[in-house]
Amino acid sequence: TSITSAKIQVNGVHLHYQQTGEGSHAVLLLPGMLGSGQTDFGPQLKSMNKQLFTVVAWDPRGYGKSIPPSRDFPPDFFERDAKDAVDLMQALKFKKFSLLGWSDGGITALIAAAKYPNLIHKLVVWGANASVTQEDVRIYNGIRDVSKWSEKVKKPLEELYGHKYLAETCEAWVDGISRFAENSDGNICQQLLPDIKCPTFIIHGQKDPLVPQAHAEYIHKHIKGSRLLLMPEGKHNLHLRFAKDFNREVENFLR
């Protein structure tokens, strides 16, 4: 099945999305920091079961092809993304849908599942965190300067954004997410986790250099009935590196 690309106006911005499949179960893929459907979810758009699922991958405002506007990071940027994501799916006429959120997209998905329980069927998150510790801030500062990134990670994003936008947005992200460390317990969305009632599957790569395993364990502990899968060789991008295993696990959970 082909992958279609389009834009639709939501909450005053034109959001770009890709869509494929004709299954009755709608699934929204939520990308990570600086991510887009195209850069973050190639193997999922290509290989997820098109008979069972209708797969939508979106570019959050200021990312990918959802520019303009430029990306900014006000204190409520995760809540804003959660509302945009849910409103996008409703604008596309999906009554109920599942969320697959990676990294920042996982945080957005947690918030969306807690705040819009009647719309969310099932939830899968990986590389996500519900709080920011001082250790996390140290890790974020380690990726602040994009010129120090590996070519493999940097190149597709430079092609998408140009060097200047990529570098400035990454710095703004580090500042924006580090601010959560000033909250009590470094809270992003800890208080919302008990409100998540849909079946939830948390996946974590045990070699993830960006998100310590304690974050996945915390989310698992505070979402009742959730399931946690640890992938011993998985890093932050486990859904790309181990796409076949990841897709299989997720599809089995979503069925």
pLDDT in tens, 143-167: 999 999 999 999 999 999 999 999 9
User: What's the CA gap between 5 and 80, in Å, rounded?
Assistant: 23
Q: The tokens of 6 are what?
A: 């389009």
Catalytic site positions: 103, 208, 236
User: What's the CA gap between 158 and 175, in Å, rounded?
Assistant: 20
Neighbours of 230 (CB within 10 A): 13
Closest CA to 219 of 197, 239, 189, 198: 189
Neighbours of 57 (CB within 10 A): 29
pLDDT at 99: 99
pLDDT in tens, 77-133: 999 999 999 999 999 999 999 999 999 999 999 999 999 999 999 999 999 999 999
What's the pLDDT band for 255 if we cut at 50, 70, 90? very high
Torsion on CA atoms 137, 150, 240, 169, rounded to nearest 10: 50
How many Cα atoms within 13 Å fall on the side-chain side of residue 132? 19
What's the pLDDT band for 203 if we cut at 50, 70, 90? very high
pLDDT at 235: 98
Neighbours of 106 (CB within 10 A): 28
pLDDT at 126: 98
User: What's the CA gap between 215 and 125, in Å, rounded?
Assistant: 11
In Å, the largest CA–CA distance within the chain is 48
Q: The tokens of 237 are what?
A: 């991008």
Closest CA to 192 of 119, 81, 253, 110: 110
Q: What is the pTM of this model?
A: 0.98
DSSP state at residue 99 = E
Select the CATH number that applies to the domain covering 3-131+187-254 from these four: 3.40.50.2300, 3.40.50.1820, 3.40.50.300, 3.30.300.30: 3.40.50.1820
> Do the strands 53-59 and 13-20 form a parallel or antiparallel pair, or are they unpaired?
antiparallel
Closest CA to 18 of 33, 6, 32, 36: 6
Q: Where are the domains of the chain?
A: 3-131+187-254
Dihedral class, residue 225 (left if φ above 0, else alpha if ψ from -120 to 50, else beta) = left
